Amino acid sequence: MQQVSYIDLGLIDYKEGWDFQEKIFSELVQRKIDNRNLPKSEQHDTVSSLIFCEHPHVYTLGKTGSEGNLLLDKKQLEDRGADFYKINRGGDITYHGPGQIVGYPIFDLDNFFTDIGKYLRILEEAVMRTLSDFGITAGRLEGCTGVWLDSSNAAQARKICAIGVRSSRWVTMHGFAFNVNTDLDYFKNIIPCGIDDKQVTSMKKELGNEIDMEKVKDSVKGHFEELFEMELTPKIDLLETAK
């Protein structure tokens, strides 16, 4: 069974979290490159990581997105206390903020399966199973990545988890943004994921009360372990490096 390092960064500035991701991602890719020049007996194992965190208010735009989907100018962003970054994941614009679980799996898919489509579906499935643990039925919306409620009803479909990833040499980064206790008002300042006819929701909104974030994290982690057939182990030294 694959051992995967689990790192919880808590509330961290988006750029700091992105830099931390990039460091782990780059080191993992470089190790794979180095291994190609070594006999099999001398190659080093690659270790994947699963990072959880929350970010202060920030909007991020994927490399295929349109800046026109941000409905605020620089002054309005400052007034809202929010940052904005163009980043190197797929997808369009989304929001991150307190009360949202942001998951960054930095996985060497050569240790699991080399299929990005399957990888995305498993990320969705882990969140869907977590929602089921809390009594919320979720599914997929045809043609749209992410996790949705009432996905069979176009008029009522609403997104509860956005997904956008990057991969190189079968190493992944970026990941998912799961609305637990998220302030949904911040989504009114963007056209989320470039979709202007669908709503965004959260566990808090659906259940009518504040949700214990640690219980949700534990549920997500358990489903990751089951679906990826892996074991999460805390990585204290990397966490200290990040801080």
CA separation for the pair 60, 85 (Å, rounded)? 5
The whole-number pLDDT of residue 215 equals 98
Cβ proximity of 92 and 69 under 8 Å: yes
Q: What is the pLDDT of residues 54-79, one digit of tens each?
A: 999 999 999 888 999 999 999 999 99
Q: What is the pLDDT of residues 226-240, one digit of tens each?
A: 999 999 999 766 556
* Annotation says 161 is catalytic: no
The whole-number pLDDT of residue 29 equals 96
Instruction: Give CA 24 to chain center in angstroms.
Output: 16
Cβ proximity of 147 and 127 under 8 Å: yes
The whole-number pLDDT of residue 47 equals 94
Share of the chain above pLDDT 90, in %: 80
Average pLDDT of the chain to the nearest whole number: 93
The angle at the Cα of 178, spanning 74 to 172, to the nearest 5 degrees, equals 90
Catalytic option among 53, 144, 161, 193 = 193
68 to each of 165, 189, 197, how far by Cα in Å?
21, 11, 16
Q: Which domains does the chain have, with CATH numbers?
A: 53-229 (3.30.930.10)
Tell me which DSSP letter residue 39 carries. -
Q: What is the pLDDT of residues 79-136, one digit of tens each?
A: 999 999 999 898 889 999 999 999 999 999 999 999 999 999 999 999 999 999 999 9
Tell me which DSSP letter residue 232 carries. E
